[in-house]
């Protein structure tokens, strides 16, 4: 059912619910601590479980929803898992606001409703739209402000804004995800994107490259045994 609704209606409804949660928690600026929200505003129990095989699971016991988290090397993974579970917890209410009976809802094409909620909870639209202008789409500066969000979540949120762009994520020298919110794109990098990516991966620092048609920003997210680079590409004439 809700896969047939305009995406704008779905995201607008999610954004409204996120703002209500933030207001109830008296949060007026990032970062959003999804774990604190789950425990403080929604009465959930969040615990680490060394025996947990998957990243996280939820169950209800003694009238409360309990979220069990597998220990992870980065706190952002815990935040994403809990944000997703909050989305699952509020799914029935979201569907009701969209005018859909939960029992009649079908799976959403593309991102799940809980995933969309998690993106918008960790990086709320009501703050992000202004912050990207203030920080000129600098992913590393935004990461310092939205510290509970991963670089990838922040980069993917660029696609939800009005500004047309292409976001590309490369892991260990291979394109893992590439998407545009405006123009048809090919899987392969454009020449200027490749130059920017080479600069970023070789020097492990941000770079900006331009040609007659495109402006490309690039950032490195490197660890000892894993290298990720993120590109944001914009048509120069725009």
Q: Which whole number is the average pLDDT over 38-52?
A: 79
Residue 200 is predicted with a pLDDT of 98
pLDDT at res. 110: 47
pLDDT at residue 125, as a whole number: 97
Dihedral angle sign, alpha carbons of residues 109, 114, 120, 123: negative
The CATH number that applies at residue 103 is 1.10.10
**46 and 88 both lie in a single domain:** yes
The domain tally of the chain equals 2
Mean pLDDT (the chain) is: 89
- In a shared domain, residues 105 and 143: no
Across residues 147-172, what is the average pLDDT?
A: 97
Question: Which residue range is the domain that position 178 belongs to?
Answer: 126-235
- pLDDT-derived band of residue 109, with 50, 70 and 90 as boundaries? very low
Helix (H) or strand (E) holding 9: helix 7-24
What token pair was written down for 62? 């003694």
Written as six digits, the tokens of 95 are: 């569907």
Mean pLDDT of 87-94: 90
Q: Which of 123, 148, 175 is the last residue of a domain?
A: 123
Q: Tell me, what's the pLDDT at 225?
A: 85
């Amino acid at each position: 059912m809700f896969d047939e609704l305009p995406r704008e209606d779905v995201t607008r409804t999610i954004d409204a619910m996120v703002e209500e949660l933030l207001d109830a928690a008296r949060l007026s600026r990032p970062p959003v601590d999804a774990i604190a929200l789950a425990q403080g505003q929604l009465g959930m129990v969040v615990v680490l479980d060394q025996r947990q095989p998957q990243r996280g699971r939820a169950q209800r016991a003694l009238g409360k929803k309990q979220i069990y988290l597998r220990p992870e090397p980065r706190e952002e993974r815990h935040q994403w898992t809990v944000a997703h579970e909050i989305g699952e917890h509020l799914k029935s209410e979201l569907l009701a606001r969209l005018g859909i009976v939960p029992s009649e809802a079908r799976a959403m094409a593309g991102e799940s409703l809980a995933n969309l909620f998690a993106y918008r909870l960790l990086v709320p639209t009501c703050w992000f739209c202004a912050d990207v202008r203030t920080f000129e789409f600098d992913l590393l500066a935004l990461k310092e402000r939205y510290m509970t969000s991963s670089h990838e979540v922040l980069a993917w949120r660029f696609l939800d804004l009005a500004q047309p762009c292409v976001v590309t994520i490369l892991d260990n020298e291979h394109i893992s995800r590439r998407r545009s919110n405006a123009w048809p794109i090919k899987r392969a990098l454009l020449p200027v994107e490749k130059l920017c990516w080479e600069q970023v991966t070789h020097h492990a620092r941000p770079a900006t490259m331009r040609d007659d048609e495109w402006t490309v920003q690039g950032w490195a997210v490197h660890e000892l045994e894993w290298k990720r680079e993120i590109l944001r590409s914009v048509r120069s004439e725009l």
